[in-house]
């Protein structure tokens, strides 16, 4: 399968279980690998044959900015759902990192892999 990679999408949202995490938005970093068959777009060079990764990024960013999840796992699942709803996406790998989650660690992240259901 072919892959589109969206790297280090920065956003802010309410994420976490602690009281202070529920009050203030925190930084998250999202990495997305979108899988599909890109041969048609590669051969035609037509936008309508391609996956619109800009539209996916906009939907993900908007959802994340307005979200209030307790768990990184739930946020990653919501991102995957948006990606899989896009035409031409067969599979998606999503990694969500929360840089301020642990002292002495650069980041804590969750990575999931989801496929379109037949």
Tokens found for residue 31 = 């990495």
Tokens found for residue 115 = 């496929």
Tokens found for residue 63 = 């959802």
58 is catalytic: no
Sign (positive/negative) of CA torsion 47, 114, 5, 39? Answer: negative
* Chain length of the chain: 118
Q: For residues 81 and 11, is the Cβ–Cβ distance under 8 A? A: no
**Active-site residue (options: 10, 58, 68, 98):** 98
Q: How far apart, in whole angstroms, are the C-alpha atoms of residue 4 and residue 103?
A: 33
- Active site (catalytic) residues: 98
């Amino acid at each position: 399968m072919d892959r589109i990679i969206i790297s280090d999408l920065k956003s802010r949202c309410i994420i976490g279980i602690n009281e202070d995490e529920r009050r203030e938005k925190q930084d998250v970093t999202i990495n997305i690998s979108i899988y599909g068959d890109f041969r048609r777009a590669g051969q035609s060079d037509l936008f309508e044959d391609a996956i619109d990764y800009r539209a996916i990024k906009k939907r993900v960013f908007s959802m994340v900015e307005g979200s209030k999840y307790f768990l990184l796992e739930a946020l990653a699942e919501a991102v995957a759902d948006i990606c899989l709803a896009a035409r031409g996406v067969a599979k998606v790998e999503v990694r969500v990192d929360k840089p301020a989650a642990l002292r002495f660690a650069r980041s804590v992240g969750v990575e999931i892999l989801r496929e379109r259901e037949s």
